Structure 1
Amino acid sequence: MLAELSPQLTSEVTRAATLLQSAKRICILTGAGVSAESGIPTFRDKQTGLWEQYRAEDLASIDAFMRDPELVWSWYQWRRQLVHDKAPNPAHHAIAKWQQRAESQGQQVTLITQNVDDLHEQAGSTTTHLHGHLWRNRCSQCDRPYGDQSETVDKSTLSFDSELINCPHCDGYIRPDIVWFGEMLPTGAWQTAEDSAAHCEVFISIGTSSLVYPAAGLAQLAKSNGAKVIEINPNPTPNTLVDITLAEKAGMVMPHLVHKLNEE
């Protein structure tokens, strides 16, 4: 059952659906706001428990890992334990439903995410990750993947042990396969994102500001190539880039939007 929206928001959802109905190529970018609706803390949230004395920005960097690898590894193991039981919310399911039906509707819906969890994949989406994967690991020295590299991981088999792991190839320390502050985005993922944004007819930003990079860069790229921009965010930042603003949580809006698309 769909949650009730205000008359004004319902009208804007209808506008967005009309715009999307005629589009052949759509690029969706999701951010921390989507995962937050499933109970996953964002980097802006204050650390809790043993970690409240640290800032996330001070732990999520290669310098921090080189300085104290056990501290950083322990923090990520704690984060993994914190989110391992989280499940996709209505926004994840709506996006997956739309993406799965897109081909039969004559649409290409490319999903790009800044989130490192696998909730989009759990819901059934095909996803390009800009900032890496929380459940994957690689060597900090030779960069080789370590362990399970599948899209979704069997959480029941996970270990949250904070003891450091050595690479079987070079003996370097294993690190999370996450893009840390100061590191480059993965080339393949960024190329996919740029290509999708440059060639889409509608760009949708969900749960992330259209003023914060890389979201801003992709939205600007889409706009400069003639695309319309839709933003779904309970606290949108007014700017001239966005054509339609849906000022509500994604879990409220996306089921309505996809339902409307299926009606038309």
Structure 2
Amino acid sequence: MKKKLVVLTGAGISAESGVKTFRDSGGLWEGHNVMDVATPEGWYKNPALVLDFYNQRRKQLKEVVPNRGHEILAELEKDFEVYIITQNVDDLHERAGSTNVLHLHGELLKVRSISDPNYIVDWHDDLNFGDFDKHNNQLRPDIVWFGEEVPALEQALELTQNADYFAVIGTSLQVYPAAGLIDFTPRETPLFYIDPKPIKIPNLKNRLEIIPEMASTGVEIMRNKLLSFL
């Protein structure tokens, strides 16, 4: 039976593919204050701005491709039962070939009803005013904005609690609740932390291996170490 490898990924892995993020940019995302385009208040204040912002993000996503970090994680499914928990809203993990991807913060290529959070549909083009659900309610981006609940959190916790190996890749570990997942790993589970600017995690240092590299380089190093355990 294959061992379970659970991987939490963040903005750093997508940034290598050219996906613009607001990480390390003073709270700005493509020149916009994240409070204007990634909160329920921003939506109600200026929905036209929010719709246009995510339409532009959707277009940008079509111009980028997965990098070696994404690809290696997909390749690891040959030897491990791999589960990706991602804070990213892009589809680069899926395009690289990963088959078990859980999006904590929603998906850019999906939209949902403003009145029914369970009404979610695939959406690859522009989303405009007048795009309704079956009950004539406006559709909005299927993004978990700041201040909203994280529907996938319970599933993410269950995966984390059953991990044989756990890795954190390209995230500052400052956005909760995702940042707290590492604290729910089993005590004997080896941990990997891949980031060019890793923060200190003193309470886990006895089983935490820090790889201070970009995702594409760091994931290759991690793969070699994981394969040596088999």
* Residue 125 (structure 2) pairs with residue 159 (structure 1): yes
1:260 and 1:221 mapped to 2: Cα distance? 22
Distance 1:47 1:168, change over 3 A: closer
Larger Rg: 1
Q: Compared with structure 1, are the counterparts of its residues 168 and 213 closer, same or farther at alpha carbon in structure 2 (3 Å cutoff)?
A: closer
- The structure whose RCO (Cα within 8 Å, separation 6+) is larger is 1
Bigger mean CA deviation after superposition, 31-40 or 249-258: 249-258
Determine the C-alpha separation between the residues in 2 that align with 1:220 and 1:134. Answer: 28
RMSD (CA atoms): 2.2
Q: Tell me if structure 1 keeps the 8 A contact 2:35–2:42.
A: no
Which residue among 88, 91, 109 is the counterpart of 2:82? Answer: 109
Over the matched positions of the two proteins, sequence identity in percent amounts to: 36
TM-score normalised according to structure 1 size: 0.76
Corresponding residue for residue 180 of structure 1:
145
* Structure 1 residue 27, shift from structure 2 partner: 1.4
Matched, 1:232 2:206: no
CA shift, 1:172, in A, is 1.9
Q: After TM superposition, where is structure 1 displaced by more than 6 Å over at least 4 residues in a row? A: none
1:226 CA displacement: 3.2
Shift, 1:47, TM fit: 4.3
Q: Which residue of 2 aligns with 1:94?
A: 72
Separation in 1, partners of 2:224, 2:43 = 45
1:139 aligns with 2:113: yes
Residue 70 of structure 1 corresponds to: 48
1:54-105 C-alpha deviation (Å, 9 max, x unpaired): 3022221112212222121111111212222110000000000002x03xxx
Q: Deviations over 1:190-215 (max 9, x none)?
A: 22211111122321100013454234
SS at match of 1:136: strand
* Partner SS, residue 20 of structure 2: coil
Q: Following TM superposition, by how much is the alpha carbon of 1:169 offset from its aligned partner in structure 2, in angstroms? A: 2.2
**Structure 2 alignment gaps of length 5 or more:** none
Aligned to 1:128, what secondary structure does the other structure show? strand
Q: Residue 185 of structure 2 is aligned with which of 210, 215, 222?
A: 222
CA distance in 2, matches of 1:143, 1:215: 20
CA 1:169–1:73: 2 relative to 1, 3 Å: same
- Contact between 1:234 and 1:249, CA under 8 Å: does it hold in 2? yes
Q: Higher helix proportion, which one?
A: 1
Equivalences, count: 221
